[in-house]
A = this chain, B = another copy of it.
Amino acid sequence: MRSRAAVGVNGFGTIGRRVAWAASQQRDMEVVGVVKTKPDYAAMQAASAGLPLYVPGEREAEAFRRAGLEVRGALRDLLKEVDVIVDATPDGVGATYAKAYSEAGVRAIFQGGEEASVAKVSFSALCNYDEAVGKESVRVVSCNTTGLLRSICALNSAIGVKSVNAFLVRRAADLQEVKRGPVNAIVLNPARVPSHHAGDVRSVLPWLEISTAAVVVPTTLMHVHYVNVRLRGAATREEVIEALRASPRVLVVSSSRSGVESTAQLMDAARHVRPRGDIPELVVFEESVSVRGEEASFIQAVHQESIVVPENVDAIRASLGMADAEESVRATNEALGIGRLPGLAGSPSAKG
């Protein structure tokens, strides 16, 4: 390995673009290429940002050349240049590349759209970093699952968690996905309980008793979860809030102090101070936190486009054995400005 990890990114959509950027912000990583299928505006922006462009196979290269974009090679060429490849291809497509990654002898980071069996371990940095250390393949769980694991593991380390029941209100599409619906319905997702999220949480915390249900609503602006947690013993509301606030990837937002009572206002606040308007932190609404004996409930919001981005960065470090959990989370957070969001942070002076 070089002094900096050589990172490739296969797929340059919602997640791939952000992971490529996030990795390029790390002192111990270098992004040596991204794989793009079509020479569209995202490809042009990659070129404009100086990211070397690769294509899946020679077949796609011609369209790039016609568009005036330089192609460095095919995916197989990129795999010779990297220590680790982050697969950010569409759901289920990553699995079709698993063999190529493995045969090239590079570490592979998959996303939560793949089955858990695609990788040696499913991953959430603040839950099970150590299990991913040195693994040849790691699967970062999906955005909703990452959001659930953020609050569950924060409460589990501070207080202890017995069981969880959560209701997920999912965004319908990402901003640029103009062909996905619904535009005017609440869709059961799926029309049975549990949703797949319970099993996905257990791919990281196999001991946890958990049930989840989900609906899809017509918005592009974040998911919202209503989470009920049975704790291992009684706690006060203040202890629960403090446990969440102490997590390095949770923002506890006071609606009464910030005036924020919607995902729209969260996104608006973020875009005035953050690259792309991203909120990689899990947001917990402070006034929604309710505790009665051993039972805590609260409303949380998940920015589906960015919450897994720091997790991918940490998964790279874990798989390559570059740092321990605390070092990696701290380095990732510092490089990406995670934990500081003026106007939303706990302190009323907006510096909290």
A352, chain B: closest CB distance, angstroms: 10
A206 at the interface (CB under 8 A from B): no
How many positions in chain A have a CB within 8 Å of any CB in the partner chain? 47
Interface class of chain A by DSSP: loop
Pick the interface stretch among A121-129, A279-287, A339-347: A339-347
CB-defined contacts of A272 to chain B, threshold 8 Å: 17, 42, 45, 276
A258 to B257, CA, bound (A): 42
CB-defined contacts of A348 to chain B, threshold 8 Å: 39, 44, 67-69
CB-defined contacts of A175 to chain B, threshold 8 Å: 221, 264, 267-268, 271
CB-defined contacts of A38 to chain B, threshold 8 Å: 259
Beta-carbon contact of B262 and A271 below 8 Å: no
A28 to B92, CA, bound (A): 54
CB-defined contacts of A260 to chain B, threshold 8 Å: 40-41
A60, chain B: closest CB distance, angstroms: 14
Known pairs A49-B342, A68-B349, A348-B67; A258 contacts B176 (CB<8 A): no
A55, chain B: closest CB distance, angstroms: 15
The residue among A17, A261, A348 with the most chain B CB atoms within 10 A of its own CB is A348
CB-defined contacts of A40 to chain B, threshold 8 Å: 258-260, 343
A48 at the interface (CB under 8 A from B): yes
Beta-carbon contact of B350 and A47 below 8 Å: yes
Beta-carbon contact of A342 and B48 below 8 Å: yes
A265 at the interface (CB under 8 A from B): yes
Residue of B nearest to A21 (CB): B272
A154 at the interface (CB under 8 A from B): no
The residue among A38, A44, A177, A261 with the most chain B CB atoms within 10 A of its own CB is A44
The residue among A17, A68, A176, A347 with the most chain B CB atoms within 10 A of its own CB is A176
Beta-carbon contact of A349 and B44 below 8 Å: yes
Contact partner, A265, options B47, B178, B221, Cβ 8 Å: B178
A180, chain B: closest CB distance, angstroms: 11
CB-defined contacts of A49 to chain B, threshold 8 Å: 342
A113 at the interface (CB under 8 A from B): no
CB-defined contacts of A350 to chain B, threshold 8 Å: 41, 44-45, 47-48
Task: Report 16 cross-chain contacts, Cβ distance below 8 Å, ordered by A residue.
Answer: A41-B259, A41-B260, A41-B344, A42-B343, A43-B343, A44-B343, A45-B269, A45-B273, A45-B342, A47-B349, A49-B342, A69-B348, A178-B264, A220-B264, A276-B277, A277-B277
Residues of A participating in the B interface, judged by any CB pair closer than 8 Å:
17, 38-45, 47-49, 67-69, 175-178, 183-184, 220-221, 257-262, 264-265, 267-269, 271-273, 276-277, 342-344, 347-351
Name the 8 nearest CB pairs between A and B, nearest first.
A44-B350, A40-B259, A41-B343, A48-B342, A176-B268, A68-B348, A44-B343, A45-B343
